[in-house]
């Protein structure tokens, strides 16, 4: 199967990334999508996006057209804001880095199209601190775009204007959550906000706001240039578009590949990532960034699309596979996973702030041979109740955690048993 | 009125308003759903995750775990608080919170009124399953009022939501993140807010506790408490003073929906310690001899009778009290009546008297609505004139902050910038005596700049309020504000008008039918026409208009609860119990008659001042007068519901009094002075007589001194920090502060009561 | 205190947003750079003043984010990713090597103020793990040997002139 390169047309991740220049971008058909969009009415552009079945690439897979439809349009006079979420701090996820570092104009064009469709005249690219260089690349690209009349006032022969700022975050995973991101952008602590009101109605500075992921925006120029039907045809089994998929961990050839939505996971693991890195069989895969439940080898034929992965009990998330092999201790891995969540919790709600560090303490104790008889039942209790938090962070932590203590329970129990045995003088 | 709908809570159908907060609905109905972060004043937050219940949108729809505080009632909603999983979940949230909570209940001063304790019991959390070390914190020094103990924190965010979001304080924040969120100041230091003490009540655990109470700690259930009304200003917050033995240990706000719902200011909370001072009077003292109160009363009655017989009825006058109850002031008139006199003065100067009496008569006429505190919070336009709300009526300021939070424009016209000015849409600094002219300009419409801005905003407001100080003796201003409010008031757009006063019962005594200018009484005392003065709960010797008269008068009887210049000078001293042990009725700024109860605390002074006076009247053989003592004869008041006033019986929220006479005509404004005008600067801490004696309040009080605008200072060759001698012009001298926030042409004189700095008594458990 | 012209520049930047507060994080970042890599109490107060928020608000923000330091840090801040992919690929070895070579533990600064060593969450570079950043520079597929080479180079560079 040959894959059509759409998003990665100008990017070769394996050769390291130098950003695609404006000239190069335009030569490859860049800004044609924007031109096509500006020939339509904003409503028509929204309709194209809706028809394309594009689903958000930030993790939740929410249909972009539907999300946009809540933005007040014709009779709304106030300021509206468009925000690109380039926080990308979810472990196992590194696709937005490639898109931003490799082809900044693709993102800018995508945002321009969205801004026009939603009549939003101000935009921000919220980029994580560690992508400081990416922020520079984007700033330069924005200046270039402005020079060529794709940002600023009177764009493409219309009265539409769009001002785009790059905001360098001060670093925090929770900033990726869209309402926390909005708070952060407003210069506040990045605690999430309660919904409703949804950002589409009351977001940044209390005004209608759309937050989309980098990759979501990057799809838009192509959809506008080639049409909704073309886009729908890119995926497999009725899934629309391609998806940047990645693999890291115990694979021979870690990396990123642009593949049709719906390719079997096995294809990625075996063909693209070229199998296990150290001769040990695969044991588990976290399919879409750390916040998704683990999957096991019998599930490797599951197609990598939102619905199929959900049906298999996990989530597609960001489609960044994290791969474990038989040599990996799942207690140790779980401790590492929970360390991430304990460290990055914003500290707002009780189960997340207090519960996750407790889970971490217990898992670490088990791993260090200090597990106790009741530990598994505490972990079972906790695995349920960290679900009920303010934002999706703690449920995200629950995903890999619950699957680990369920699927690999025997490993946890073995640690606890061996301690009991040691205590009883048996070796 | 929101639509009424039906919801089912734990199997029972309830009628509620659509959109009502489910947690509040349950709490109102007496179902205690455990919760922390939700607070009625601050609304839902959704952080603690404790108030969970199983909620289904309809009976035939599946329910799921939701936070009740974040859920709004909709028709047909089914709420199961007792759902098994929800119950288990709430228990586990408590378990989470207890992981790091120190188990220091036995030594914690929140014990017995700790919300965490309560919630732990309700959720039946008993056993600690964790075996890991707890996190610990450093505490901060937050000043003399509030003690900080961070280890007890459960991160409910109530403190910062109250202090910053609600009270608009700027120096308390939430810092850090993950499981290390810290609530405190940037550095150690005194909390800046005048409302910091409320942190103690909003904090559900013992992080913020009453520093004064800690020093004399008693388990709350060992405190004797009777509902009282704060005596520290004219707002009249309801309070619960807590006594142990003869000492006042603390004051807490008491809920009253019409006045202070949950909160009170720091002056009120910490200002009650005058009750404990060693200078508290216990025995009667007649001609330098100590005796039992009863004997003192006999001696005083005999002496007064003697003077009346010798010199005639006009030889005796009374000095009424703005901090004593209506009953005590009425009893004073009864004593005078028994002696054949009707001369009484309740104010410190004719100017103060005119301003307060005019204001009180306007208020009591009920011609214009007087906003209550909850009413002020809902205002969409606020004009504050003549004074410093924060210092002169603190809780009115806190109410105005709520209006400001709802984006109400706030305008301030006063000679000096106060704490509230930083939230003002615009402030006008203008010399004392010129405010009335500005108010008139606003009423006339047109004008420019500030005046135009205020007039325009007032015109477009739907529920405007105007607040005016009477503490500076400007009756012309009181009248001008009345005219402005009247012109803005229409049937469909009522304009609220509120005056505030110097003391807790100034509004009450301002309605006295018989009250004359203190200058007149002083003159007659000096000329020898008046031979005897009966002074009720008032340090008259410290009042400029009366000092000389007190010193010269032949016979002075002082009735008070503590030793002061007047009792020191008096020929006879009769002790009464302090306000928080006393009972009676006082009128707050709204003319709300609030009854306060006293505790019968064992001690040598046992009588309220009203009782002392009635005893004297009885000794004078005036039982008929006492029996016929009708409030309405003494004061120009009935209640709004038209009930007779004799012994105003107050309901929970107190009756609003109503006067049957029309407001007296305001005096015409004095011609604007061309020179410098003196203006008394009132401070939140240190200016009010009784609270200033409380050690923590004295600690927070600024130094006495003078203030001048930079230009005025320059033109007089005076500089900041210098001793300025203005004795010739104004009869004052003192350390000068150059203050750009003071209007030109104003000499600011800081009113700082000299605090009696006595050590607290040794406390026995 | 920063010089008036810088203060003005920071203030003007805030004015460019629809609400001045939007500039707070950027202002803190600039001040952190100005004050040698960390925010002292004065810097926090200054930021609050420039942006027009309360001191408590500025401190709340300054202590929330990973990349604001409220304590002095070394000239080079080394952050080592310890999230799952790097963990699987041996970041613990890298950390151990660094701790040994620099003679400090995670979270500490060397006595000569040259290096501060901190853990960081996923750097978005999982296909090249283990990885770390020194200053703004990202290092892929780090080994103890490659690390030594890098540190040798940095150590031999003269200290950047302090502002
Ligand atoms: C804890 C947390 C972290 C998140 N981080 C990111 C992120 O780094 N990038 C991103 O695009 N979306 C992230 N999301 C999802 C966003 O909230 C939001 O759904 C997304 O930006 C929407 O974009 P999309 O509709 O284009 O997918 C995160 C969500 C949560 C709960
Ligand atoms: S779930 Fe965690 S990260 Fe999300 S709001 Fe609650 S504490 Fe913050
Ligand atoms: S009271 Fe509802 S979550 Fe705290």
What DSSP string runs through B499-567?
EE-SSTTHHHHTTBSS---HHHHHHHHHHTS--EEEEES--GGGSHHHHHHHHH-SEEEEEESB--HHH
Q: Are residues B91 and B147 in the same domain?
A: no
Q: What is the pLDDT of residues A228-279, one digit of tens each?
A: 999 999 999 999 999 999 999 999 999 999 999 999 999 999 999 999 999 9
Query: ipTM higher than 0.90?
Result: yes
Which long-range CB contacts under 8 A does A422-426 form with residues at least 24 apart? Answer: A422/A369
Q: Characterize A261-270 residue by residue with b for buried, 16 or more Cβ atoms within 10 angstroms of its Cβ, and e for exposed.
A: bbbbbbbbbb
Q: At residue B453, does pLDDT exceed 80?
A: yes
Is there a domain that residue B71 lies in? yes
pLDDT value of position B448:
84
Q: Are residues B488 and B368 in the same domain?
A: yes
Q: At residue C118, does pLDDT exceed 50?
A: yes
Cβ atoms within 10 A of the Cβ of B132, count?
14
Q: Is the CB of A180 under 6 A from ligand 1?
A: no
Chains in contact with C, counting 3 or more C-beta pairs less than 8 Å apart as contact: A, B
Distance A94 CA to ligand 1 centre (A): 13
Q: Report the gap between the CA of B133 and the closest CA in chain C (Å).
A: 20
Q: What is the pLDDT of residues B143-199, one digit of tens each?
A: 999 999 999 999 999 999 999 999 999 999 999 999 999 999 999 999 999 999 999
Is the bond into B461 cis (omega within 30 degrees of 0)? no
Q: Is the overall model pTM greater than 0.80, yes or no?
A: yes
Mean pLDDT value across residues A56-67: 96
Is there a domain that residue B695 lies in? yes
How far, rounded to the nearest angstrom, does the alpha carbon of residue A110 sit from its chain's CA centroid? 17
Question: B57-61, B105-109, B158-162: which range is least confident on average?
Answer: B105-109
Is there a domain that residue B244 lies in? yes
pLDDT value of position A425:
64
pLDDT value of position B546:
95
Q: What is the pLDDT of residues A307-332, one digit of tens each?
A: 999 999 999 999 999 999 999 999 99
Q: Are residues B617 and B750 in the same domain?
A: no
| Partner-chain residue, chosen from A88, A249, A250, that has the shortest CB–CB distance to C124 | A88
Mean pLDDT value across residues A406-413: 97
Phi then psi dihedrals of residue A259, to 5 deg: -130, 160
Is there a domain that residue B34 lies in? yes
B-chain residues within 8 Å CB-CB of A357?
A: 178-179
Q: Are residues B335 and B370 in the same domain?
A: no
**DSSP SS3 for B301:** helix
Nearest atom in ligand 3 to the alpha carbon of residue B52 is: 2
Q: Report the gap between the CA of B275 and the closest CA in chain A (Å).
A: 43
Q: Are residues B161 and B259 in the same domain?
A: yes
Q: Where in chain C is the domain with CATH 3.40.30.10?
A: 76-156
Q: Where in chain C is the domain with CATH 1.10.10.1590?
A: 4-64
Q: Which residue of B has its CA nearest to A374?
A: B129
A-chain residues within 8 Å CB-CB of B99?
A: 354, 358
What range defines the domain where residue B482 resides? 361-508
Q: At residue B495, does pLDDT exceed 90?
A: yes
Q: Which residue of B has its CA nearest to A371?
A: B131
Q: Compute the mean pLDDT over every residue in chain A, rounded to the nearest whole number.
A: 95
Count of CB pairs separated by less than 8 Å, A with C? 140
Q: DSSP letter string over C4-71? A: HHHHHHHHHHHHTSSSGGGGHHHHHHHHHHHTTSS--HHHHHHHHHHHT--HHHHHHHHTTSTT--SS
Q: At residue A384, does pLDDT exceed 60?
A: yes
Is there a domain that residue B286 lies in? no
Residue B663: pLDDT band with limits 50, 70, 90: confident
Positive or negative: CA dihedral C123, C129, C131, C137: negative
Give the separation between CA B648 and CA B593, rounded to whole angstroms. 7
Q: Are residues B370 and B343 in the same domain?
A: no
Let me know: does B364 contact B336? Beta carbons within 8 Å.
no
Mean pLDDT value across residues A46-60: 97
Q: At residue A427, does pLDDT exceed 60?
A: no
pLDDT value of position A426:
54
Closest alpha carbon to A403 in A318, A288, A303, A304: A288
pLDDT value of position B672:
64
Query: With 0-12 CB in 10 A as exposed, 13-18 as middle and 19+ as buried, what is A28?
Result: middle
Question: A2-11, A333-342, B38-47, B70-79: which range is least confident on average?
Answer: A2-11
pLDDT value of position A375:
97
Find the helix or strand (DSSP H, E) in which B326 lies: helix B326-338
Q: Is the CB of A391 under 6 A from ligand 2?
A: yes
Q: At residue B606, does pLDDT exceed 90?
A: no
| Partner-chain residue, chosen from B96, B174, B176, that has the shortest CB–CB distance to A351 | B96
Mean pLDDT value across residues B551-570: 94
Mean pLDDT value across residues B673-696: 92
pLDDT value of position B314:
87
Q: At residue B654, does pLDDT exceed 90?
A: no
Q: At residue B437, does pLDDT exceed 70?
A: yes
pLDDT value of position B764:
41
Q: At residue C31, does pLDDT exceed 50?
A: yes
Give the separation between CA A396 and CA A192, rounded to whole angstroms. 14
Q: Report the gap between the CA of B178 and the closest CA in chain C (Å).
A: 9
Is B176 within 8 Å of C63 when comparing Cβ atoms? yes
Q: Please tell me the residue having the least CA distance from ligand 1 atom 28.
A: A177
Q: At what angle do helices A393-407 and A375-385 cross, to 10 degrees?
A: 140
Give the separation between CA B121 and CA B124, rounded to whole angstroms. 5
Is there a domain that residue B125 lies in? no
Distance B205 CA to ligand 3 centre (A): 15
Q: Report the gap between the CA of C128 and the closest CA in chain A (Å).
A: 7
Q: At residue B640, does pLDDT exceed 90?
A: no
Task: State the CATH number of the domain containing residue B331.
Answer: 3.40.50.740
What is the CATH architecture assignment of C76-156?
Answer: 3-Layer(aba) Sandwich (3.40)
Q: At residue A175, does pLDDT exceed 70?
A: yes
Q: Are residues B270 and B193 in the same domain?
A: yes
How far, rounded to the nearest angstrom, does the alpha carbon of residue B426 sit from its chain's CA centroid? 26
Fold (topology level) of C4-64 = Arc Repressor Mutant, subunit A (1.10.10)
Let me know: does C118 contact C79? Beta carbons within 8 Å.
yes
Q: In this structure, what DSSP letter does residue C72 have?
A: -
Q: What is the pLDDT of residues A346-380, one digit of tens each?
A: 999 999 999 999 999 999 999 999 999 999 999 99
Distance B33 CA to ligand 3 centre (A): 10
A-chain residues within 8 Å CB-CB of B46?
A: 194, 349, 390
Q: Are residues B584 and B640 in the same domain?
A: yes
Q: Characterize A338-373 residue by residue with b for buried, 16 or more Cβ atoms within 10 angstroms of its Cβ, and e for exposed.
A: bbbbbbbbbbbbbbbbbbbbbbbbbbbbbbeeebee
Residue A385: pLDDT band with limits 50, 70, 90: very high
Residue B425: pLDDT band with limits 50, 70, 90: very high
Mean pLDDT value across residues B447-476: 95
Q: At residue A199, does pLDDT exceed 80?
A: yes
- The first and second tokens of residue B466, run together, are 């105007």
Domain end marker among B508, B530, B549: B508
Q: Which ligand is nearest to the CA of A394?
A: 2
Using a CB–CB cutoff of 8 Å, tell me whether C46 touches chain B.
Answer: no
Domains (ranges, CATH) in chain A?
Answer: 22-232 (3.40.50.11540), 245-323 (3.10.20.600), 330-426 (1.20.1440.230)
Q: Are residues B592 and B730 in the same domain?
A: no
Q: Report the gap between the CA of C156 and the closest CA in chain A (Å).
A: 25
Q: Are residues B91 and B171 in the same domain?
A: no
Chains in contact with B, counting 3 or more C-beta pairs less than 8 Å apart as contact: A, C
Q: What is the pLDDT of residues B334-369, one digit of tens each?
A: 999 999 999 999 999 999 999 999 999 999 999 999
Distance A214 CA to ligand 1 centre (A): 10
Q: DSSP letter string over B86-147? A: HHHHHHHHHHHHHHSS---GGG-TTTTS-HHHHHHHHTT-------SPPP--------SSEE
Q: In this structure, what DSSP letter does residue A94 have?
A: -
Number of domains in chain B: 5
Is C124 within 8 Å of A172 when comparing Cβ atoms? no
A-chain residues within 8 Å CB-CB of B154?
A: 350
Q: Are residues B234 and B337 in the same domain?
A: no
Q: Are residues B608 and B551 in the same domain?
A: yes
Closest alpha carbon to C129 in C83, C97, C95, C96: C83
Using a CB–CB cutoff of 8 Å, tell me whether B422 touches chain C.
Answer: no
Give the separation between CA A262 and CA A338, rounded to whole angstroms. 30
Residue B631: pLDDT band with limits 50, 70, 90: confident
Mean pLDDT value across residues B741-754: 93
Is there a domain that residue B663 lies in? no
pLDDT value of position B632:
83
Mean pLDDT value across residues C90-101: 96
Q: Compute the mean pLDDT over every residue in chain B, rounded to the nearest whole number.
A: 93
Q: Is the CB of A85 under 6 A from ligand 1?
A: yes
Angle, vertex CA A53, rays to CA A48 and CA A56, nearest 5: 105
pLDDT value of position A1:
45
Distance A178 CA to ligand 1 centre (A): 6
State the best of B42, B46, B49, B129 to mutate against chain A, taking most chain A CBs within 10 Å: B49
Q: How distant, in Å, are the alpha carbons of A166, A324, B401 from that of A302?
A: 38, 17, 59
Q: Is the CB of A390 under 6 A from ligand 2?
A: yes
Mean pLDDT value across residues B419-423: 96
């Amino acid at each position: 199967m040959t894959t059509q390169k759409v998003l990665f047309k100008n990017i070769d991740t394996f050769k390291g990334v130098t950003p695609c220049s404006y000239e190069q971008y335009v030569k490859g058909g860049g800004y044609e999508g924007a031109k096509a969009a500006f020939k339509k009415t904003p409503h028509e552009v929204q309709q194209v996006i809706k028809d394309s079945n594009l689903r958000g690439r930030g993790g939740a897979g929410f249909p972009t057209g539907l999300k946009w439809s809540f933005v007040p349009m014709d009779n709304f006079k106030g300021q509206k804001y468009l925000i690109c979420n380039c926080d990308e701090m979810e472990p196992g996820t590194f696709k937005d880095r490639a898109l931003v570092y490799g082809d900044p104009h693709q993102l800018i064009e995508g945002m321009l199209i969205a801004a026009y469709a939603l009549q939003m005249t101000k935009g921000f690219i919220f980029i994580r601190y560690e992508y400081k260089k990416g922020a520079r690349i984007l700033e330069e690209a924005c200046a270039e775009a402005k020079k060529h009349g794709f940002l600023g006032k009177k764009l493409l022969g219309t009265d539409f204007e769009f001002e785009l700022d790059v905001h360098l975050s001060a670093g925090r995973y929770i900033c990726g959550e869209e309402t926390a991101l909005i708070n952060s952008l407003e210069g506040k602590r990045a605690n999430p906000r309660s919904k409703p009101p949804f950002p589409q109605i009351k977001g940044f500075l209390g005004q209608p706001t759309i937050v989309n992921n980098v990759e979501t925006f990057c799809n838009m120029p192509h959809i506008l240039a080639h049409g909704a039907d073309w886009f729908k045809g890119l995926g497999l089994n009725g899934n629309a578009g391609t998806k940047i998929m990645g693999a890291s961990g115990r694979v021979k050839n870690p990396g990123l590949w642009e593949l049709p939505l719906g390719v079997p996971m096995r294809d990625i693991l075996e063909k693209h990532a070229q199998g296990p890195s150290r001769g040990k069989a695969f044991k588990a895969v976290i399919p879409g960034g750390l916040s998704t439940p683990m999957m096991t080898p019998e599930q490797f034929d599951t197609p990598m699309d939102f619905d199929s992965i959900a049906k298999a009990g996990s989530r597609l998330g960001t489609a960044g596979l994290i791969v474990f092999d038989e040599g990996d201790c799942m207690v140790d891995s779980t401790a590492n996973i929970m360390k991430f969540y304990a460290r990055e919790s914003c500290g707002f709600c009780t189960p997340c702030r207090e519960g996750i560090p407790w889970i971490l303490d217990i898992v670490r104790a088990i791993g260090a041979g200090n597990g106790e008889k009741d530990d598994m039942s505490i972990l079972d209790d906790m695995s349920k109740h960290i679900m009920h938090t303010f934002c999706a962070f703690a449920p995200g932590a629950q995903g890999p955690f619950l699957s680990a203590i369920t699927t690999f329970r025997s490993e946890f129990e073995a640690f606890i048993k061996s301690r009991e045995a040691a205590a009883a003088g048996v070796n | 009125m929101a639509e009424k709908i039906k919801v089912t809570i734990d199997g029972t159908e309830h009628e509620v308003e659509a959109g009502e907060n489910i947690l509040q609905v349950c709490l109102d109905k007496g179902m205690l759903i455990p919760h922390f972060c939700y607070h009625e004043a601050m609304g839902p937050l959704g952080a603690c995750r404790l108030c969970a219940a199983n909620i289904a949108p309809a009976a035939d729809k599946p329910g799921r775990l939701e936070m009740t505080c974040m859920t709004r009632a909709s028709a047909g909603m089914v709420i199961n608080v007792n759902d098994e999983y929800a119950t288990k979940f709430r228990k586990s949230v408590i378990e989470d919170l207890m992981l790091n909570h120190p188990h220091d209940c036995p030594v914690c001063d929140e014990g017995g009124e700790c919300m965490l304790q309560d919630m732990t019991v309700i959720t039946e959390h008993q056993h600690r399953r964790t075996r890991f070390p707890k996190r610990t914190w450093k505490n901060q020094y937050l000043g003399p009022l509030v003690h900080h103990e961070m280890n007890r924190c459960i991160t409910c965010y109530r403190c910062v939501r109250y202090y910053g979001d609600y009270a608009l304080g700027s120096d308390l924040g939430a810092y850090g993140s993950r499981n290390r969120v810290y609530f405190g100041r940037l550095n150690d230091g005194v909390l800046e807010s005048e409302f910091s003490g409320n942190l103690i009540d909003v904090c559900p655990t013992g992080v913020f506790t009453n520093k004064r109470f800690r020093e004399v700690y008693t388990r709350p259930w060992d405190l004797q408490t009777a509902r009282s009304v704060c005596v520290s200003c004219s707002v009249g917050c309801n309070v619960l003073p807590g006594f142990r033995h003869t000492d006042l240990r603390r004051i807490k706000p008491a809920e009253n929906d019409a006045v202070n719902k949950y909160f009170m200011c720091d002056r009120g909370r910490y200002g009650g310690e005058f009750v404990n001072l060693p200078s508290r009077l216990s025995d009667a003292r007649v001609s330098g001899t100590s005796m039992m109160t009863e004997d003192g009363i006999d001696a005083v009655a005999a002496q007064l009778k003697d003077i009346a017989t010798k010199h005639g009825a006009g030889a005796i006058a009374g000095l009424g009290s703005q901090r004593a109850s209506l009953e005590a002031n009425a009893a004073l008139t009864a004593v005078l009546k028994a002696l054949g006199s009707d001369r009484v003065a309740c104010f410190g100067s004719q100017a103060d008297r005119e301003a307060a009496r005019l204001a009180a008569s306007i208020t009591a006429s009920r011609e214009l609505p007087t906003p209550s505190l909850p009413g002020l919070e809902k205002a969409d336009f606020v004009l504050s004139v003549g004074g410093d709300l924060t210092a002169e009526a603190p809780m009115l300021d806190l109410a105005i902050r709520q209006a400001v939070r709802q984006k109400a424009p706030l305008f301030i016209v006063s000679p000096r910038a106060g704490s509230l000015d930083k939230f003002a849409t615009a402030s006008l600094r203008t010399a004392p005596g010129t405010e009335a002219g500005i108010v008139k300009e606003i009423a006339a419409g047109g004008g420019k700049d500030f005046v135009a801005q205020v007039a325009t905003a007032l015109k477009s407001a739907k529920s405007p309020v105007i607040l005016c100080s009477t503490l500076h003796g400007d009756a012309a201003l009181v009248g001008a504000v009345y005219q402005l409010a009247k012109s803005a008031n229409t049937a469909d757009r009522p304009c609220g008008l509120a005056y505030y006063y110097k003391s807790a019962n100034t509004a009450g005594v301002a309605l006295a039918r018989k009250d004359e200018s203190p200058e007149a009484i002083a003159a007659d005392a000096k000329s020898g026409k008046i031979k005897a003065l009966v002074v009720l709960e008032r340090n008259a010797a410290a009042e400029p208009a009366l000092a000389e008269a007190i010193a010269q008068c032949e016979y002075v009887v002082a009735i008070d609860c503590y030793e002061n210049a007047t009792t020191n000078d008096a020929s006879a001293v009769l002790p009464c119990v302090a306000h928080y042990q006393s009972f009676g009725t006082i009128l707050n700024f709204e003319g709300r008659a609030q009854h306060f109860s006293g505790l019968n605390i064992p001690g040598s002074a046992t009588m309220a001042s009203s009782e002392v006076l009635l005893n004297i009247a009885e000794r004078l053989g005036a039982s008929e007068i006492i029996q016929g003592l009708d409030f309405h004869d003494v004061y120009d008041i009935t209640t709004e519901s038209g009930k007779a006033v004799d012994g105003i019986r107050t309901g929970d929220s107190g009756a609003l009094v109503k006067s049957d006479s029309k407001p007296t005509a305001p005096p015409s404004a004095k011609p604007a002075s061309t020179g410098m005008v003196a203006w008394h600067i009132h401070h939140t801490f240190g200016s009010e007589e009784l609270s200033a004696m409380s050690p923590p309040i004295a600690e927070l009080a600024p130094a006495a001194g003078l203030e001048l605008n930079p230009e005025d200072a320059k033109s007089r060759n005076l500089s900041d920090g210098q001793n300025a001698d203005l004795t010739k012009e104004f009869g004052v001298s003192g350390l000068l502060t150059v203050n750009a926030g003071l209007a030109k042409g104003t000499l600011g004189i800081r009113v700082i009561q000299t605090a009696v700095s006595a050590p607290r008594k040794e406390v026995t458990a | 205190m920063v010089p008036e012209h810088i203060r003005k520049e920071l203030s003007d930047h805030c004015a460019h947003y629809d609400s001045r507060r939007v500039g707070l994080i950027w202002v803190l970042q600039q001040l952190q750079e100005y004050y040698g890599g960390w925010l002292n109490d004065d810097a926090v107060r200054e930021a609050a003043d420039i942006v027009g928020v309360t001191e408590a608000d500025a401190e709340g923000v300054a202590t929330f984010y990973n990349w604001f330091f409220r304590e002095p840090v070394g000239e080079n801040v080394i952050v080592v990713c310890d999230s799952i992919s790097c963990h699987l690929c041996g970041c613990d070895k890298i950390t151990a090597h660094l701790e040994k070579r620099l003679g400090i533990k995670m979270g500490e600064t060397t006595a000569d103020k040259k290096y501060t060593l901190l853990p960081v969450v996923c750097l978005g570079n999982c296909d090249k793990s283990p990885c770390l950043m020194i200053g703004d520079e990202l290092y892929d597929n780090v080994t103890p040997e490659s690390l030594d080479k890098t540190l040798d180079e940095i150590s031999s560079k003269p200290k950047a002139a302090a502002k």
